[in-house]
């Protein structure tokens, strides 16, 4: 029997959210709308592209350093995964830990959550699995374990933290520290600074899969709202914003056009862009400053220093969240 904890987290009105973004000086669409059924399938393809280093690099770091990670986390750990998705990386982690006690996947997609939780429960019968169906950006409480637990450790792989501006990331991590309580830990994936071309290639592959993924957001918005975006009148572009230290995905209007959108018309000039995503890249010192609610205990990287997995322990500052949950992208 699988015990599922449900939170009734009401989302903001998506129509108003979209309208606000499309009427901003720099037009934007929240990156969560990249992930309808088609978008999710395309993103799975992206994760296997030769140019897209984050997924394979993070998994490689995890596999190569499991004994060291297990030593840091200690025995009888309770793992709470933020935005668990398919829990694929979690399986690598659980296999290497010392007698993990409990696994708490947290995800807003109930069907996906239950499917992956049942698989983990089957593959790791000695671990208590208690999924939480919730938006992990909102107020949640971790369940009380029914057996002995050593450390409580949040697992946040995939560099999803990069989808927040640094001050927003600080606020988010403060809140995670508050939820976890005294001495909780955080095992997090953080994408690192690297040369511009590697980043551009990762977000603009030769096969054009990322372009399809980006353009698909317009079809998704059309189906949601009844708007009339014409994807063939836009072009995908990845931009490295040196000043802000982030990679950005944009859709460039190829002509002047007026989009019929519920409640208003949206005018786009030729070459005007709609930003659909950004992802900040950090130096190790920058991320340590951003994660000010935590102390960095250990950093593991690949040999090319493209990516890092970091283990941090909480200072337990009990500070509040000041960011928009819609800015968090699903990243595998």
Express each pLDDT in 104-124 by its tens digit. Answer: 999 877 887 888 899 999 999
pLDDT over 80 (residue 326): no
Close Cβ partners of 220 (under 8 Å, ≥ 6 residues apart): 33, 34, 36, 38, 39
Q: Residues 146-174: pLDDT tens digits?
A: 889 999 999 999 989 999 999 999 999 99
Cite the residue boundaries of each domain of the chain with CATH code 3.40.50.150: 53-194+282-327
Q: How many degrees, rounded to 5, is the angle at CA 99 between CA 97 and CA 101?
A: 105
The per-residue pLDDT for 331 is 44
Mean pLDDT of 202-228: 97
Residue 241 pLDDT > 90, yes or no?
yes
* Count of residues in the chain: 332
Tokens of 82: 């933020």
Banded pLDDT at 21 (limits 50, 70, 90): very high
pLDDT at 12 over 90: no
Name the nearest CA neighbour of 155 among 208, 85, 237: 85
Over its C-alpha atoms, the chain yields an Rg (Å, rounded) of: 20
User: What pLDDT sits at residue 186?
Assistant: 97
Residue identified by tokens 């600080």 is 170
The full 3-state SS of the chain, as one line of letters, equals: CCCCEECCCCCCCHHHHHHHHHCCCCCECCHHHHCCHHHHHHHHHHCCCCCCHHHHHHHHHHHHCHHHHHHHHCCCCEEEEECCCCCHHHHHHHHHCCCCCEEEEEECCHHHHHHHHHHHHHHCCCCEECCEECCCCCCCCCCCCCCCCCCEEEEECCCHHHHCCHHHHHHHHHHHHHHHCCCCEEEEEEEECCCHHHHHHHCCCCCCHHHHHHHHHHHHHHHHHCCCCCHHHEEEEEEEECCCCEEEEEEEECCCEEEEECCEEEEECCCCEEEEEEEECECHHHHHHHCCCEEEEEEEECCCCCEEEEEEEECCCCCCCCCCHHHCCCCC
Query: For residues 198 and 304, what is the distance between their CA atoms, to the nearest angstrom?
Result: 12
From the candidate CATH numbers 3.40.50.300, 3.30.2350.10, 3.40.50.150, 3.30.470.20, the one assigned to the domain spanning 53-194+282-327: 3.40.50.150
Cβ neighbours around 98 below 10 Å, total: 13
> What does the alpha-carbon distance between residue 143 and residue 205 come to, in Å, rounded to a whole number?
42
Handedness of CA 135, 137, 141, 144 (dihedral sign): positive
pLDDT in tens, 60-106: 999 999 999 999 999 999 999 998 676 778 999 999 999 999 999 99
Residue 323 confidence (pLDDT) above 60: no
Q: What number is the average pLDDT over the span 204-217?
A: 98
Model pLDDT for residues 265-300, shown as the tens digit of each residue: 999 999 999 999 999 999 999 999 999 999 999 999
Share of the chain above pLDDT 90, in %: 75
Full-model pTM: 0.89
Going by C-alpha positions, the residue among 138, 41, 17 that lies closest to residue 83 is 138
Tokens of 60: 């490689």
Whether pLDDT at 207 is above 50:
yes
CA distance 153 to 184: 6
Of residues 279 and 1, more confidence is placed in: 279
Asked whether 158 and 188 are in contact (CB, 8 A), the reply is no
d(CA 107, CA 84): 6
| C-alpha–C-alpha distance, residues 84 and 106, integer Å | 6
Task: Please state, rounded to an integer, the average pLDDT across all residues of the chain.
Answer: 91
133 vs 221, residue with greater confidence = 221
Beta bridge partners of 79: 103, 153
Could you tell me what percent of the chain has a pLDDT over 70?
93
> How far apart, in whole angstroms, are the C-alpha atoms of residue 110 and residue 107?
7
């Amino acid at each position: 029997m699988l015990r599922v904890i449900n939170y009734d987290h009401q989302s903001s009105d998506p129509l108003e959210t979209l309208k606000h973004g499309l009427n901003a000086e720099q037009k934007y669409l929240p990156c969560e709308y990249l992930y309808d059924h088609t978008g999710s399938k395309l993103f799975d393809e992206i994760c296997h592209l030769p140019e897209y280093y984050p997924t394979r690099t993070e998994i490689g770091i995890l596999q190569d350093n499991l004994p060291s990670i297990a030593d840091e986390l200690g025995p009888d750990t309770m793992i709470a995964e933020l935005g668990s998705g398919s829990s694929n990386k979690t399986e690598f982690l659980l296999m290497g830990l010392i007698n993990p006690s409990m696994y708490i996947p947290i995800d807003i997609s109930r069907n996906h959550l239950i499917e992956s939780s049942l698989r983990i429960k089957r593959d790791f019968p000695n671990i208590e699995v208690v999924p939480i169906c919730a938006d992990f950006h909102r107020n949640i409480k971790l369940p009380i374990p029914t057996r002995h637990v050593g450390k409580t450790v949040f697992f946040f792989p995939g560099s999803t933290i990069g989808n927040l501006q640094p001050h927003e990331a600080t606020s988010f991590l403060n809140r995670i520290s508050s939820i976890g309580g005294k001495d909780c830990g955080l095992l997090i994936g953080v994408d690192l600074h690297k040369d511009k071309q590697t980043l551009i290639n990762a977000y603009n592959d030769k096969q054009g899969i990322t372009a399809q993924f980006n353009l698909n957001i317009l079809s998704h918005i059309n189906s949601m709202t009844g708007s009339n975006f014409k994807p063939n009148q836009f072009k995908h572009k990845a931009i490295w914003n040196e000043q802000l230290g982030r990679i950005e995905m944009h859709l460039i209007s190829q002509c002047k056009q007026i989009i019929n959108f519920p409640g208003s018309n949206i005018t786009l000039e030729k070459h005007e862009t709609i930003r659909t995503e950004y992802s900040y890249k950090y130096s190790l010192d920058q991320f340590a400053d951003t994660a000010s609610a935590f102390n960095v205990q250990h950093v593991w990287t690949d040999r090319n220093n493209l990516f890092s997995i970091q283990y941090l322990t909480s200072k337990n500052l009990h500070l509040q969240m000041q960011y928009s949950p819609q800015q968090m992208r699903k990243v595998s």
